[in-house]
Structure 1
């Protein structure tokens, strides 16, 4: 077990933060997840830099527990719009909370992984984020999230 702890300690993974779902219409998707699954919308914002309108949906009674992030495009050329055009609605990424995104990015680069941004960008609710290229992560877009206030 010690070897696993050494591997994750350099990256500082704390938990799965959320699963991102690409959707064509954010309001419709919020209504669906509330009505069908009983989830609660805890946060909505527009992130013009990333070209998305997004919502965080709480799974279960705890706002700090598991979440689904709904991502809708702000413009036809945004990353989410391109994803929807290519793949349709569905799982777009899996995100992990990290305690120090700068250290996590440096460690992943040292392990030979490519990251989307040279330096982390602003994410949901003032968090800092970066992404591991899917081709370097078994075909899955992985997001690293350092929440605001950590």
Structure 2
């Protein structure tokens, strides 16, 4: 149970989080990430960005439309020895809503994508979930979540 002091602190916040705007994934070779996220999953690539100052070369993908769209930035360092090191640290995992989870898992497996042990199962929030092994995504554990019917 949240104490009154914490509850007041949270209720007095002058902003609220509205949703996910972007997820940035780093790798020494962004083509590994792009192959999975754009080519295998079919998430459209909408642009590129490169900055010497930020030491980044990235492909920009987008899921959805308008203000609810989520951008996925697939980044590699221009120089792995310089900072910032956009390929570090690793993101543990994140979830994507999927409209037909069994069909998705079957399709991915047919393409050689490695899933984690356990198959489709109930996740912590009560939705059916399955996980794509980091070996298939360039190092990031991906949770696939069945969108409610």
TM interval, shorter chain, is 0.3 to 0.5
Q: Which has the higher strand share?
A: 1
Q: TM-score, normalised by structure 1?
A: 0.45
Max Rg structure: 2
More contact order relative to length (CA 8 Å, sep ≥ 6): 1
